[in-house]
Amino acid sequence: MTTFAQAAITGLLLGGVYGLVAMGLSLVFGVMRVVNFAHGEFVLIGMYGTLALYTGLHLNPFVALLIIVPGALLLGAALQQVLISRVTRTTDLRQLLLTLGLSLIIQSLALIIFSPSQRSLPGFAWGSELVRLGPIYVRPAHVVGFVIAVVVTGALALLLTRTDLGRAMRATVDDAEMAESSGVRTNRIYVVGMAIGVCIACIAGAVLITYYPASPNAGQTFLVIAFVAVVLAGLGNVVGAFLGGLMAGLMQQFTASFISVELQDVGLFALFIAVLVLRPNGLFSRKQAA
């Protein structure tokens, strides 16, 4: 029972951050119908950006979010206007090639600037120390990261359901041409959607670097997990993607605890295949995306 509880708590805490990554990916797809293969590299930017602020300015990584968030919003808006807008309403192949090329460029820059070796936050105890809570142990960084993930998820849900901007985004998802004829500036919505998607990915990266080392190919690991979580939830279901991330974290930890650490991703992909076969629209699919 203790092993089960430990795996469940750790899986939920890690899954919250997986959910963050998945939400950003799902938002971009839901609003613009762009499958962003560079999304993992935006997580990587958040990781390396936080690392640079921690080592250069000695900022606590969670305080560094005050700089990471506005920077990520500007980056996402700029990328949408300069690059992504050129493939927003084109074929999937052009989207794939552009975002894959962007992914390779960011990976190469990370390799040149930070070297291929893994980098972590030197002397940051929250990511390594364990706190005992009864029969289980938790890392403070996991707990803070999960709280940040829940807050971001709640804020995004409120934005999408309770604001004029959110309603405009959902109208664009349903029918961009009809939204335009009703006065919605869809190009502006695309910029906002991309900015928020990149921002969420960078927030996830800032949280991950507190307990997971950064390397130039680390983004690909989280991109795969994000795709699994998005498929579990249903394409375009932004808040559901957070739940998909929780499921991914739980499956990983249960497999690692009861089968083998080396096979922790096998259980995750087994669940992924089962959902594709039995519920191809996702476990939390609904008629309206986002």
Angstrom distance (rounded) from CA 25 to CA 11 = 21
In terms of Cα–Cα distance, which of 69, 56, 16, 12 is closest to 208?
A: 16
The answer to whether the beta carbons of residues 5 and 136 sit under 8 Å apart is yes
Angstrom distance (rounded) from CA 148 to CA 203 = 9
CB atoms within 10 A of CB 88: 18
pLDDT digits (tens, 9 = 90+) for 4-39: 999 999 999 999 999 999 999 999 988 888 889 999
Angstrom distance (rounded) from CA 209 to CA 193 = 25
In terms of Cα–Cα distance, which of 2, 1, 74, 10 is closest to 261?
A: 10
Q: What is the set of domains in the chain, with CATH numbers?
A: 2-278 (1.10.3470)
The answer to whether the beta carbons of residues 152 and 140 sit under 8 Å apart is no
pLDDT digits (tens, 9 = 90+) for 257-273: 889 888 888 888 888 88
pLDDT digits (tens, 9 = 90+) for 48-90: 999 999 999 999 999 999 999 999 999 999 999 999 988 877 7
pLDDT digits (tens, 9 = 90+) for 224-262: 999 999 988 887 788 889 999 999 999 999 999 889 888
Confidence band for 285, pLDDT divided at 50, 70 and 90: low
Distances (CA, A) of 68 to 101, 165, 171: 24, 23, 29
State yes or no: pLDDT of 91 exceeds 70: no
